[in-house]
Amino acid sequence: MQAAKPRVKTARDRLLSQFYIAFALMSIIPLLICCYLITVKFFTLSILEGLNGFYFLLAVAFSILGLVIGQLLLRNVVQQLVQANVKLEQFHQMQDAFVHNVTHELRSPLTIIKGALDNLADGLHGTLTADQLEPLMMSQRETARLKRIVGDLLDVSSVEAGKLRLVHAPVALQDCLQGVAKSCEGLAKERGLSVTTELPPAPVTIMGDRDRLNQVFINLVVNAIKFTERGGIHIRLTDHGDAAQIDIADTGRGIPSEDLERIFDKFERVGPTHQDGSGLGLPIARGIVELHHGRIWAESRVGQGSRFVVRLPHGP
């Protein structure tokens, strides 16, 4: 283990040290002298009364001096904290830029690998036996999973850096949510679950990026499917005049109240740790919703399922 380097005292540090020593001596020496003189009965009653007033004024003066020194020290500590915070912010920016660049560089080769595996599975390079197809299909699944994780990392870094761009256009929410339900139906059936919708007859249209909103809704429904053992997921759309509200409710195990806000933080997971995923879906969803000037939150009670609510204004 490398020994810590000794801290080199600056001129300012030396002056402060000398001042503290002088201050301590100024405080203690007169008190010691008075204690000695009192023990040898040097003071008369009138002298003691005069000294009492003198020491009261001296105590006030030292109190004021102590407050001034405290303020100076506090200002110095605050300046150090501000400087440390600036350095920490710079480090986070460098870290985010590094993640963004690395994930961007990984996306292209992963796309090429996935394409090559798909070509092999489709028999473009010859017919494969069952023994050959099994590891190939496993490679396809893992490549697709890695591609999703890289995509999530790229999205979350883009959201945090303010680089995620939306393409605003009219979005018919009934049509959008019906498509989401249909896309997730197969996964739900594999787990013995249902996906139902409750949509108003009158069209509900907002200005937004349909692809990104699809990403949000699919993520919420897939999450609900993952954490629901029986029952189903219900998607409900309501129009509140100034905004549209989408509720995605499940009959799962529920989320503890203390975790409801934490689930929107990066890499946070609530529930079984074996569940597949990057832990970035909900932070990305929140970022996309907020870019639409909307809100997203969760409501839940343990054992009674969860409800994720997305409220989006009609205008951009």
Per-residue pLDDT tens digits for 146-163: 777 777 777 887 887 777
User: pLDDT grade, residue 76 (50/70/90)?
Assistant: confident
For residue 104, pLDDT over 80 is answered with no
| pLDDT for residue 5 | 47
Q: Which two tokens stand for residue 109?
A: 């080769």
Identify which of 4-8, 292-296, 299-303 has the greatest average pLDDT. Answer: 292-296
**Of the ranges 3-7, 60-64, 116-120, the best mean pLDDT one:** 116-120
Highest mean pLDDT among 85-99, 100-114, 162-176, 275-289: 162-176
316 vs 107, higher pLDDT: 107
Q: pLDDT exceeding 90 applies to what percent of the chain?
A: 33
- pLDDT at residue 6, as a whole number: 47
- Mean pLDDT calculated for residue range 194-208: 95
Q: What separation in angstroms does the CA of 242 have from each of 60, 66, 176, 213, 238? A: 63, 58, 19, 18, 11
pLDDT tops 70 at residue 33: no
Question: Which phi and psi angles does 253 have, rounded to 5°?
Answer: -75, -15
Q: Are 291 and 162 in contact (CB under 8 A)?
A: no
Residue 238: which pLDDT band, with cuts at 50, 70 and 90? very high
Determine the average pLDDT of the residues in 159-175: 88
Rounded Cα–Cα distance for residues 73 and 176 (Å): 60
Least confident of 2-16, 121-135, 248-262: 2-16
Longest CA pairwise span in the chain (Å): 116
Q: Give the pLDDT score at 106.
A: 73
Residue of 208 and 127 predicted with greater confidence: 208
Smallest CA-to-CA distance from 212 within 284, 263, 158 is with: 284
Percent of the chain with pLDDT over 70: 71
- Range 153-176 average pLDDT: 86
> Mean pLDDT over residues 101-113, rounded?
74
Distance CA 215, CA 211 (A): 6
Average pLDDT of the segment spanning 37-62: 60
By DSSP bridging, strand 169-172 and strand 205-208 are antiparallel
pTM: 0.62
- Partners of 84 in beta bridges: none
CA distance 83 to 26: 35
Residue 118 has pLDDT above 50, yes or no: yes
* pLDDT for the residue numbered 311: 97
The predicted structure's pLDDT at residue 235: 97
Note the Cα 176 to chain centre separation in Å: 28
Asked if 309 contacts 298 with a C-beta cutoff of 8 angstroms, the reply is yes
> Which pLDDT score is estimated for 298?
93
User: CA quadruple 178, 228, 139, 145: dihedral positive or negative?
Assistant: positive
pLDDT, average across residues 179-188: 93
Q: How many CB atoms lie within 10 A of CB 70?
A: 10
Is pLDDT larger for residue 315 or for residue 274? 315
